Amino acid sequence: MKHILLPDSRERRLVFYLAMEEFLARENNDEEAFFIWQVAPTVICGRNQNIEAEVNLDYCHKNKINVFRRKSGGGCVYSDEGNLMLTWITRSEGVQQTFDRYLHRITELLNDTGAQATVSGRNDILIDGRKVSGNAFYQTPVKSIVHGTLLYHTNFENMVRAITPAQSKTESKGVASVRQRVTNLTEHTSWSKDAVKQHLIRALCDEERMLTANEIEAIEEIEATYLTDEFLWGKNPASNLIYEGRVNGVGGFTVRFRMRMGKIDGLTLEGDFFVLQDPLPLLEKCLCGLPIQEDAFRKALADVDLGEYIYKLHTEDWIQLIFRKPDQK
């Protein structure tokens, strides 16, 4: 098997590596390929998922977490520099046999580090009953791609808060819950991240292949297909995001934002507050066309006094209603 190398070490987006998988899987030869990659904090959503409903976009924006969509199905996945991403591309036509062979081989190699890893179910690798690696398999017309995660030292708080909708009542308990179900390899081995990477490469590969400048250019052309607004947001149906809460001394609120292509397309406001004059025309004028991001709301409403529209309501309290953490009251 060939270890695929890039000609430089510059940081690349997650979708570059998905494009790299596509490029290598399209090659009509018998060559097997393997490579390990890492990315800046990123959420990658499945092809048919509604991003606004699955991802806390404001949290991602504030914490510089990228959000992309992949061309295969499944759910949202979080990755960062503490997560090793593994890709194996093979000509093998036996899907289950190929997948099983990969899972058991990776498990054996993890055990070499002192961890007590086992294969669980169809696609997971566990240590002490907690997930350290999740894997997926899909076929292209020419080759098959097995790819997976290896949690070495991943930020679990970012993982939970980034892929939990902002108003989820379970978010505050989510980190503790995730810590019971997943584990980092650092909890089970003294090996460094680089030592783990090199062990996998040496054990699985017997040749190297350096990609050429022309091949990188071809990969970047595939990458561009992931970066269009039409691809990222076009799979999203028009949807409603609902925010509920109470402002002391003012009343309860239910705010529904109608979203399209990641931007506010309209909104409704319900509750037991007292209206001085209808606030909806003003709010729609200020907020339509914006993403649901706190800094964007603050800028748009900087000169607005919502107390002129809703009795005793301060604009800051309404913004906090939308963007407070679920465990804040």
**Could you tell me the sign of the dihedral formed by the alpha carbons of 33, 36, 40, 46, in that order?**
positive
The candidate with the shortest Cα–Cα distance to 250, out of 328, 306, 324, 322, is 306
Q: Which amino acid is at 296?
A: A
Domain coordinates in residue numbering, the chain: 2-234, 239-323
The pair phi, psi for residue 3, each rounded to 5°, is: -85, 120
Band of the pLDDT at 28, cuts 50, 70, 90?
confident
**Could you tell me the sign of the dihedral formed by the alpha carbons of 133, 139, 140, 143, in that order?**
positive
Give dist(CA 275, CA 126) in Å, integer: 56
Comparing 161-165, 205-209, 281-285, which segment has the lowest mean pLDDT?
161-165
Question: What is the pLDDT, as a whole number, of residue 52?
Answer: 79
Question: What is the pLDDT, as a whole number, of residue 169?
Answer: 40
Band of the pLDDT at 110, cuts 50, 70, 90?
very high
* 90 vs 74, higher pLDDT: 90
Structure confidence by residue, pLDDT tens digits, 237-271:
566 788 888 899 888 898 989 888 788 999 988 88
Band of the pLDDT at 326, cuts 50, 70, 90?
very low
* 7 vs 93, higher pLDDT: 7
pLDDT at 179 over 80: no
Q: Which tokens go with 170?
A: 């379970």
Element (H, E) at 17: helix 14-25
Exposure b/e, 58-76, CB count within 10 A at least 16 = b: bbbbeeebbbbbbeeeeeb
Residues constituting the chain: 329
Check if the beta carbon of residue 117 is closer than 8 Å to that of residue 183: no
Helix axes 193-204, 95-111, angle to 10 degrees: 130
Could you confirm whether domain 239-323 is CATH 3.50.50.60? no
The candidate with the shortest Cα–Cα distance to 127, out of 137, 117, 135, 119, is 117
Question: What is the pLDDT, as a whole number, of residue 5?
Answer: 97
The pair phi, psi for residue 10, each rounded to 5°, is: -65, 155
Sheet of strand 251-260, all strands in order from the earlier edge strand to the far edge: 239-247, 251-260, 263-271
Band of the pLDDT at 98, cuts 50, 70, 90?
confident
Give dist(CA 249, CA 38) in Å, integer: 49
Give me the CATH code for the 2-234 domain, please.
3.30.930.10
Question: What is the pLDDT, as a whole number, of residue 204?
Answer: 96
Q: Which tokens go with 8?
A: 């430089």
Write the CA distances from 288 to 252, 262, 264, integer angstroms: 23, 11, 5
Q: How high does pLDDT run on average in the chain?
A: 87
What pTM, to 2 d.p., does this model score?
0.76
